[in-house]
């Protein structure tokens, strides 16, 4: 998957998944604009350079911040070929009748609203240059919601429906929009939160990054409007 002709914005780049996507894209030759709310975490996670623009302190819930992010990337690289939006939030374990509305509002804001704003910010550039690729991050829970995850599942389902509708709207303009749906991601935080679980059944950030790279690359040029479950290799996966 050669991304040497690709300029990509990756949000949440200091997080586990965002950092894995950034590493995968760099190894494939992409020029990348890495975005995160925390400039300190971003600087600790990545090294800036001619092919790597660090955009820290970006509030992706604020439209002016998101528009400024896209403008900075476009000014630096001259174009925007791809957006990978990894930003989101999780909270669960509370029944519907007990879940505060503030939790519903918060999960819709960090999952759905940030996705809407990020997509809208890059679309004019992609339209002007005749194409592009957007990858959103939903979740397996968007397809089948377990007990106690109603608010989270609803927010991720909204991201999925947004992805499908946007893909239909911009397909004729050469812009592809797809979503990945990970199961539980193997991160230090999840291992700490679920010490009795078996992480070999989880999906690794690098595995998700590989799928995202495919969707952005020319190899994925015929794929749009897709919801792709990414659940890991399980017992059949090589160790290491």
Which CATH number do you get for residue 22? 3.40.50.720
235 part of a folded domain: no
227 is catalytic: no
Residues 17-39, mean pLDDT to the nearest whole number: 97
Report if residue 223 sits inside a domain: yes
Cβ-defined contacts of 196-200 (< 8 Å, 24+):
200/234, 200/235, 200/237
In-domain check, residue 202: yes
CA distance 62 to 76: 21
Within a domain: residue 115? Answer: yes
Q: Is residue 238 part of a domain?
A: no
Q: How confident is the model at residue 74 (pLDDT cuts 50, 70, 90)?
A: very high
Classify residue 210: in a domain, yes or no: yes
Counted domains in the chain: 1
**How many whole angstroms separate alpha carbon 173 and alpha carbon 129?**
10
Token code pair at residue 234:
């399980």
pLDDT in tens, 123-171: 999 999 999 999 999 999 899 888 989 999 999 999 999 999 999 999 9
In a domain, 174, yes or no: yes
What value does the mean pLDDT take over residues 179-187?
91
Q: Are 231 and 203 in contact (CB under 8 A)?
A: yes
Name the residue among 3, 15, 33, 27 with its Cα closest to residue 137: 15
Q: Which of 140, 152, 205, 211 is catalytic?
A: 152
Domain assignment of residue 117, given as a range = 7-229
Q: What is the pLDDT of residue 238?
A: 38
Whether residue 144 is contained in a domain is answered as yes
> What's the pLDDT tens digit per position in 29-57?
999 999 999 999 999 989 899 999 999 99
């Amino acid at each position: 998957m050669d991304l040497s002709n690709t300029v990509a914005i990756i949000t949440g780049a200091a997080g586990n998944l965002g950092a894995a996507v950034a590493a995968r894209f760099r190894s494939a030759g992409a020029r990348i604009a890495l975005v995160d709310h925390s400039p300190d975490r971003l600087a600790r996670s990545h090294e800036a350079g001619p092919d790597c623009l660090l955009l820290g302190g970006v509030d992706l819930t604020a439209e002016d911040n998101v528009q400024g992010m896209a403008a900075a990337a476009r000014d630096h690289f001259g174009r925007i070929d791809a957006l990978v939006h990894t930003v989101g939030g999780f909270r669960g374990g509370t029944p519907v009748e007990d879940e505060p509305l503030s939790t519903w509002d918060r999960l819709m804001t960090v999952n759905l609203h940030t996705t809407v704003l990020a997509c809208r910010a890059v679309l004019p550039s992609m339209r002007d240059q005749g194409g592009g690729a957007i990858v959103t991050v939903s979740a397996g829970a968007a397809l089948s919601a377990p007990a106690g995850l109603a608010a989270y599942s609803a927010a991720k389902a909204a991201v999925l429906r947004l992805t499908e509708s946007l893909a239909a709207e911009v397909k004729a303009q050469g812009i592809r929009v797809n979503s990945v749906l990970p199961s539980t991601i193997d991160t230090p935080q999840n291992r700490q939160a679920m010490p009795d679980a078996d992480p070999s059944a989880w999906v690794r950030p690098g595995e998700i990054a590989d799928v995202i790279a495919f969707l952005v690359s020319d190899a994925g040029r015929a794929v749009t409007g897709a919801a792709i479950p990414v659940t890991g290799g399980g017992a059949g996966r090589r160790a290491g």
